Amino acid sequence: MRLLILGGTEFVGRAVAEAALARGWEVTVFHRGRHEPPAGAVSLIGDRTAPGGLAALTANEKASWDAVVDTWSAAPSVVRDAARLLADRVDRFVYVSSRSVYAWPQAAGLTEDGALVEGSPDAGDVPYAEAKRGGELAAVEAFGPDRTLFVRAGLIIGPYENIGRLPWWLGRIARGGPVLAPGPRALPLQYIDVRDFAEWTADAAAVGLSGAYNLVSPPGHTTTEELLDACVRATGSDAELRWAEPEKLLAAGVEPWSDLPIWIPPGELYEAMHRADVSKALATGLRCRPVTETVADTWAWLRSIGGAAPHRADRPSVGLDPEREAALLSD
C-alpha cells in the first residue's frame, strides 16, 4: 500500500503512520514541518491553509497513492481543497471524523444511521461538529461515496495524546496524596486507544471500506475506577483516590470533561458519549486492548519525553489546579 497522510506527525495521524510503516507500506506525510515525521516516512512540507500551500503534493507529476488519511478538524474548505486536488491521484479518501457530527440529542445506542448536523464543504471557521460534517461532505463531493470512508471517533487516548486528558490524570496521580476521583466509580466508559484506532483504519483502507463507522470501544470496555486504579499502578505512586458523588461535584461547580478530564456524570451527555453502538466496526475486525495497557504505555511515553505532554494550541487546557482540588477535598 502507498499511503498519504495529511498531518502524520502528531497523535492520531502519527499513530496511523506508524501502523502503516510497521506493515511495510510506503508512507508519505504532508505536514508543516513543526514536528519530526515518523522514521521511514517520506516527508512533504506545506501549509494547507496558505495560498499555494498544497504544491508539494503535486510537485511530482507521477505521484499517486492508494489511500489518503486526513485528520483535519477546522474549516471544511481546507478539506475540500485537498480532496479536489487529490481526486485523480488517490484511490480512496479516509476522513477522520467524529461522533460529534450526529444531531443532538444523541440517544444511547446510536448507530451510523443517526440524524446529522448541518454542514457545508465550503465553510470556513465553524463549530467543531459542523466542521467535521463539512469535512465529510467535502471528501465525498470530490471522491464519491464508494471511495470515501468516514471514521467517526469518540474519545481517543493513548501515547502521543496532545489534548491532555489521560496525561493529566497520570501526572496528577503520579504526584501522590489524596486525589479527587469523580463518581460513580463503577461508571462504564467508552473510548479507543489511538493505536487500535490506527490499526482498524489501516485495515479499512487496505480492504477498501467505505461509508461511516463509529470507532470507539464497546460500551463498558472499562470503568472510571478501573481507569484511575490503572493510573495508580502504572505510576507506582502513593495516591489515595477520594471518591465524590457527581451531585456534590456539580454543586461545587466542577465542570465535567474539562475540570476532571474524561469524566461525564450520568445523564444525556453521558449517554451520547459513552454508549454508542459500534457493532458495525466490531463486525469488520475492531479490536480494543485492555485499559491497563493503554495507561501503562501512555505513562511510559510521558516519562520518555520528560513527563510533560505536548498540547495542541487550538485546544483549551484541562484539569483542576492543585489549590482548587485541595479545597474540594477539604469540604
pTM strictly above 0.85: yes
Domain ranges of the chain: 2-153, 162-189+219-275+290-330
Cell numbers 515525521: residue: 37
User: What pLDDT was estimated at residue 312?
Assistant: 83
User: What pLDDT was estimated at residue 309?
Assistant: 85
Three-state SS for 89-120 is: CEEEEEEEEEHHHECCCCCCCCCCCCCECCCC
User: What pLDDT was estimated at residue 108?
Assistant: 93
What's the rounded Cα separation, in Å, for the pair 168 and 299?
11
Peptide bond into 105 cis (omega under 30): yes
CATH topology classification for 2-153: Rossmann fold (3.40.50)
> What amino acid is encoded at 252 in this protein?
A
What's the rounded Cα separation, in Å, for the pair 260 and 271?
18
Among the listed residues 188, 229, 202, 174, the one whose alpha carbon sits nearest the alpha carbon of residue 284: 202
Phi, psi dihedrals of residue 166, rounded to the nearest 5°: -65, -40
Number of H helices, E strands in the chain: 11, 15
Phi, psi dihedrals of residue 264, rounded to the nearest 5°: -135, 125
Cell numbers 470501544: residue: 217
Residue 299 near residue 235, CB atoms below 8 Å: yes
User: Which CATH code is given to the segment(s) 162-189+219-275+290-330?
Assistant: 3.90.25
User: What pLDDT was estimated at residue 26?
Assistant: 98
Q: What letters, b where the CB count within 10 A reaches 16 and e where it falls short, cover 96-130?
A: bbbbbbbeeebeeebebebebbebebebeebeebb
* Alpha carbon 168 to its chain's center: 16
The segments of the chain whose pLDDT lies below 50 read none
